Amino acid sequence: MKNELLKNEPYKVVESLKKISGDDWVTNDLSQIQGYLYDETEPLLRPEASKDCVVVKPGSPEEISKILEYANEEEISVITRGGGTGVVGGAIPTTASIILSLERLNKVVELDEKNLMITVEAGVTLADLLEVLNNQSELFFPVHPGDEGAQVGGMVATNAGGTKAVKHGIMRNHVKALEVVLPTGKIVNLGGKLLKNNMGYDLLHMMIGSEGTLGIITKVTLRLYAKSKYSGTLIISFNSQQDACNAVPAILQDGITPLAVEYMDRDISNTSAKDLGTTWPASKGSVDLLFILEENNEDELYGNSEKIVEICEKYNAVDSIIAETPKEQRHILEIRSNGYTPYRDNISDALDVAVPPADVPQYFNDIKELSLKYNNHILSLGHIADGNIHNFIMSDNGKLPSYYEELKEEIYKAAIKYGGTVTAEHGTGKTRKKHMNLQFTDDEINIMRGIRAVFDPNKILNQGDIFD
Amino acid sequence: MKNELLKNEPYKVVESLKKISGDDWVTNDLSQIQGYLYDETEPLLRPEASKDCVVVKPGSPEEISKILEYANEEEISVITRGGGTGVVGGAIPTTASIILSLERLNKVVELDEKNLMITVEAGVTLADLLEVLNNQSELFFPVHPGDEGAQVGGMVATNAGGTKAVKHGIMRNHVKALEVVLPTGKIVNLGGKLLKNNMGYDLLHMMIGSEGTLGIITKVTLRLYAKSKYSGTLIISFNSQQDACNAVPAILQDGITPLAVEYMDRDISNTSAKDLGTTWPASKGSVDLLFILEENNEDELYGNSEKIVEICEKYNAVDSIIAETPKEQRHILEIRSNGYTPYRDNISDALDVAVPPADVPQYFNDIKELSLKYNNHILSLGHIADGNIHNFIMSDNGKLPSYYEELKEEIYKAAIKYGGTVTAEHGTGKTRKKHMNLQFTDDEINIMRGIRAVFDPNKILNQGDIFD
């Protein structure tokens, strides 16, 4: 993409976009576009943004269609902006670009309780979605990637995960229909309020997780679920990572499906609690498993809690704490949610590999060895039942350590050795695309490139991402 | 595809294939290939098979790779054959073809209880899979499309559904990894024993439901689940289709997720029971809902059964029968499973549309009107909680009625009017591909064609299917 017009005569681009979306919704004033030039990628790793950008905030899919037609004509790259909560640079325009923000597509279109579904415009945030459901419905939506500023369209584009995937799975499991503006400007409706649909190829699933490279998602229909009536939280402590990890498959095999099963290094729990001015309830042992249970039946809740404790004791658990009141439960979850925050200024990178769940103990051994080898106190917390571990690579006095790239690649390779993935949740974006060949053969990457070319022949969308 | 060599000098093709797979596994003797020229498509609708075919039964993905390379060189079309249980002509070679049967890829590779997964070669049948799980494990696999002769690879290629999707979803929800021989002969491994994986485009999901047009699936890793400890079966009878259908969303909203919720016209239940030499337990009312519940907790099973009855009574249920013993449960399920059999010789077509579940009552009204309009006693049974209805179009004294195409298209259009799909389960195959444009725009179909061309530039695979 040359983006000549945008670089040389940006006012012309601004004028053309104003004709589409109106004067109020287009700007290339640096002070106004500053907030659109970065996302939540770790500051030490953020790709540098081009300042030759124009922000447009279209009010409808039809406007988006016209913007994309214009971008194709003029050969200008377009980057889609959701909530800007991504952590792999996906929303950062590294070349001169039209930044197309979905923030005005923020309406809840329909809460359809009879079909247990909700349809929202793509710019509705997770916070908005949860509020509408809380206020207007007994139904709930299970995917929660942590930052409620995430927009629903972005959550689809990145196939968001989070803690509750143990019971409810990831975004892909809940997306039923999408309105998408294709890179060529055509508007298509994929899927429907359907639980089974086998006509043609499934373009809906192709779109999920494609990180804005195949089209701009403008409307999303999600499946909803009845709320569980009873919830409980358990902390179970162990002296060894291995014992903790090995207990988890035994619990799942017994037919217990918790809402969440989180692993936490005790260092993280203590530091997080201290940061919040409180203390982590567990003191024995050195690592914890945190179980959140949601059941429709009180007996089942208590029965499952007891069984979890029993199984963990077989795996040498040294302590178990059952949070009985909602207040105690909130206290524990607050400390878990805050796990990353106190480290923020000391972290180079927060990784998100996944391995087959049964291989987590071996993977943890590899991490221990790498910690020693590089003398970097790599911490671990994560969605252990999903085999999805967040490792924090510490910074070197606020700077990227000299060995950062090498260590990161060793961690990725450790995961891949077990048939794992470089990224379970965060996505490929700009910071991982150079590692595609660790995980895929050339044949696979060529097919991905080919698919991209089918959707976006002029490579208008999200230039610099994944396959460019 | 010209298939010149196969038409003019078939012995040369036979010889070349024998060099790859050995003398015992290649034949073009009509008496031996006869069984490979049809599938379970209704006899009145079966596309005519070409007899210029060679059957090859490769013993490994490497052999398949070589066969596909050869087919590309010689421009011969290849059709993949699984269990032959499809009902839309997908496995019928309508042009001269190499029929590539997966029957020898029939080994269970690994039962991985710790990861709750099983890896099998693609030619393992559903019956084999269930037997291995029954004999060797406390885990189970939930997708059951009815015919246990189906091969696992075919179940992935067609994204099989079935009755248990209410609780467990369809094939797509359970496929974790695939080994695939691409049409060009390259062997790729997609996915992994992973519960979250966001690197690159999801080619695994592209492959699921692509009906053998994007590659030949040779190995499949499936997720398994702990068996539920208690099961129950209820028949609840109504005087009106509308009341029966309306009760279903109310049950789901209440947080009850049955294993299956089946709708049955009473005609079907009675006919099926009579065919089996028994009687259907319900006599009041004219239609039935059949609920199968599976729970881990006996209280929950009884509690949910009671709640279902209570909710159905609000929707004017006239009778409810709870099958208490396993024997009673089996009796009812046997009658349900036999629902289609007594009609087999009188059916033109068994359709499988889906609509949004809340629109089933309106859809049933449309079917009633079409029954009258065409004077065809269209029967309905189906997976009502999925909005997935099987309609039987009756034959005209063993022949396709003159209005068959017209009626079928009206039924499809009725479903699409509600945002439904032509095919919820059976797939596009050869018998539905002409209806693609009822459901998709040209832009969507062109993208599907483009994707096919990326995988299969010479259109070697499953010629005549979906996009040719």
Sorted by where each begins, the domain ranges of chain B are 4-101, 108-226, 230-337, 344-431
Contact B209 A201 (CB under 8 A): yes
Chain B positions touching A441 (Cβ under 8 A) are 186, 188
- Most A CBs within 10 Å, among B112, B194, B428, to test the A interface: B194
Per CATH, A230-337 and A341-442 having the same topology is answered yes
pLDDT class of B437 with cuts at 50, 70, 90: very high
State mean pLDDT over A413-423. 98
Using CB atoms and an 8 Å cut-off, which of residues 165-224 of chain A contact chain B?
Answer: 165, 169-170, 172-173, 177, 182, 184, 186, 188, 190, 192-203, 205-206, 208-210
pLDDT class of B324 with cuts at 50, 70, 90: confident
Topology adopted by domain B108-226: 3.30.465
Architecture of domain A341-442: 2-Layer Sandwich (3.30)
Whether A48 contacts A89, CB under 8 Å:
no
Residue B460 CB partners (closer than 8 Å, separation 6+): B1, B68, B71, B72, B76, B77, B78, B183
Whether A182 contacts A106, CB under 8 Å:
no
d(CA B262, CA B268): 12
Strand partners, A235: A290, A321
d(CA A323, CA A237): 14
Residue A467 has pLDDT above 70, yes or no: no
Mean pLDDT of chain B: 95
d(CA B296, CA A465): 46
User: pLDDT tens for residues A160-196?
Assistant: 999 999 999 999 999 999 999 999 999 999 999 999 9
Residue B314 has pLDDT above 90, yes or no: yes
Q: Where are the alpha helices (DSSP H) in B148-293?
A: 152-157, 165-168, 203-207, 241-253, 266-275
Q: What is the DSSP letter of B183?
A: T
SS3 B467: coil
Nearest in space to B56 (alpha carbons), one of B16, B86, B7: B16
Contact B198 A159 (CB under 8 A): yes
Inter-CA distances, B410 with A222, A466, B387, B401, B414, Å? 29, 44, 18, 14, 6
Whether A194 contacts B353, CB under 8 Å:
no
Residue B464 has pLDDT above 70, yes or no: no
Give the residue on B whose Cα is nearest the Cα of A442.
Answer: B188
| A31 vs B: CB within 8 A | no
| CATH 1.20.1260.10 at B344-431, yes or no | no
Contact A158 B198 (CB under 8 A): yes
Strand partners, A421: A354
Using CB atoms and an 8 Å cut-off, which of residues 112-141 of chain B contact chain A?
Answer: 112-117, 138-139
Identify the burial level of B256 via C-beta atoms within 10 angstroms of its C-beta, where 0-12 means exposed, 13-18 middle and 19 or more buried: buried
Handedness of CA A54, A56, A61, A62 (dihedral sign): negative
SS3 B17: helix
Whether B420 contacts B354, CB under 8 Å:
yes
State mean pLDDT over B387-412. 96
What H or E segment, with its residue span, contains residue A118? strand A117-121
Q: Look at residue B465 in the predicted model and tell me its pLDDT.
A: 67
Using CB atoms and an 8 Å cut-off, which of residues 220-279 of chain A contact chain B?
Answer: 226-229, 249, 252-256
CA distance A293 to chain B (A): 15
pLDDT class of B3 with cuts at 50, 70, 90: confident
The beta strands (E) that lie in B166-282 are given as 175-181, 187-191, 216-223, 225-226, 230-238, 260-265
Residue B297 has pLDDT above 90, yes or no: no
SS3 A458: coil
Chain A positions touching B423 (Cβ under 8 A) are 197-199
CATH classification for the domain delimited by B4-101, as one of 3.40.50.720, 3.30.43.10, 3.90.1150.50, 3.40.50.300: 3.30.43.10
Nearest in space to B36 (alpha carbons), one of B18, B54, B61: B54
Contact A198 B209 (CB under 8 A): yes
d(CA B181, CA B216): 5
Topology adopted by domain A4-103: 3.30.43
d(CA A191, CA B416): 11
Contact B201 A209 (CB under 8 A): yes
The CATH class of the B230-337 domain is: alpha beta
Handedness of CA A331, A332, A335, A340 (dihedral sign): negative
Amino acid letter at A49?
A
Give the residue on A whose Cα is nearest the Cα of B161.
Answer: A196
